[in-house]
Amino acid sequence: MNENTQKEIEKLRKQISQQEKMASLGLLSAGIAHEIQNPLNFVINFSKVSQKLLKDMQEVLDELGDALPEDSVEEIKEIMSDLEGNMNKIEENGNRASGIVRGILLYSRGKDDEYIPTDLHQLTKEYVWLSYHAVKANNKSFNVAIQEEYAVDLPLVKVIPQDFSRAILNLMNNACYAVFSKSKEIADATYQPTIRVCLKKEGDRINLSIEDNGQGISEETKKKLYTPFFTTKPIGEGTGLGLSITKSIIEQKHNGTIGMDSRPGEYTRFTISIPIQQ
């Protein structure tokens, strides 16, 4: 066995080990997500109850009328207004966190090959931001402007949610990696890492594109892009399976297509297209 073969075997061993760790992490994430959902429900529900109590307080205050000094009434109203604003923010962010948790549970526990009518706007948005926060959690200096463009009144589309969300996550993770790597390499204060997400209906198809202004992809790399275990990332940072899995999910399970356009040093755009009727 020559040295190159040994290196390839070692590389594959590390990649398989990484995949096993990710599988275990998926099971752990599902358990954690389930435990988080219950207290989140309490937070959201009690924020709604508190908003109702504030409205009741307002009615009581109105009934009291001139029985209270005007200065005291104004101060109470100001405090109530602040409390109402805080409750609205708690409910809004609680719902957002709940959506992420639902997405994790769906991703981790969905039945294999079960096609479910799905709101792709909601699914895409949840996993775009799940990817961002996951990268941010591991790299505190990471920052990116995410520009979202979602068509209104998109029809529900039958997809395998845990698979389609995995495709979104893979493409977003790659986009985040591309802009973060470029920002570290060029050290240019004028460079603004940006990712554009566009979801729209065109004829009888739904098209989703994710574009970044990162490093771009060379012609040589394009030839191997969907090859299993091919990666340009350091060992431990990538398995080389993300794009090959994404291609399989879109083409084989959703009768769709995946395309890529890139210019080295400027941008990369992946576009997936699936029929509305599966």
Domain ranges of the chain: 1-109, 114-275
**Res 189: pLDDT:** 77
The third-level CATH classification (topology) of the domain covering 114-275 is Heat Shock Protein 90 (3.30.565)
For the ranges 5-9, 43-47, 107-111, the lowest mean pLDDT is seen at 107-111
Q: How many other C-beta atoms are found inside a 10 Å radius of the C-beta of residue 41?
A: 13
- Do 1-109 and 114-275 agree at the fold level? no
Q: What is the mean pLDDT of residues 6-31?
A: 61
> Is it the case that residue 196 has pLDDT exceeding 90?
yes
For the ranges 19-28, 69-78, 158-167, 185-194, the lowest mean pLDDT is seen at 19-28
Identify which of 2-16, 49-63, 203-217 has the greatest average pLDDT.
203-217
CATH of the domain spanning 1-109, picked from 1.10.20, 1.10.3470, 1.25.40, 1.10.287? 1.10.287
Cα distances from 84 to residues 39, 49, 94, in angstroms, run: 21, 11, 15
N residues, the chain: 278
pLDDT band at 107 (very low <50, low <70, confident <90, very high): low
Dihedral of the alpha carbons of 12, 17, 23, 24, in degrees to the nearest 10: 180
**CB-facing half-sphere around the CA of 59: CA atoms within 13 A:** 6
Q: What is the mean pLDDT of residues 171-176?
A: 93
Identify which of 131-135, 155-159, 218-222 has the greatest average pLDDT.
155-159
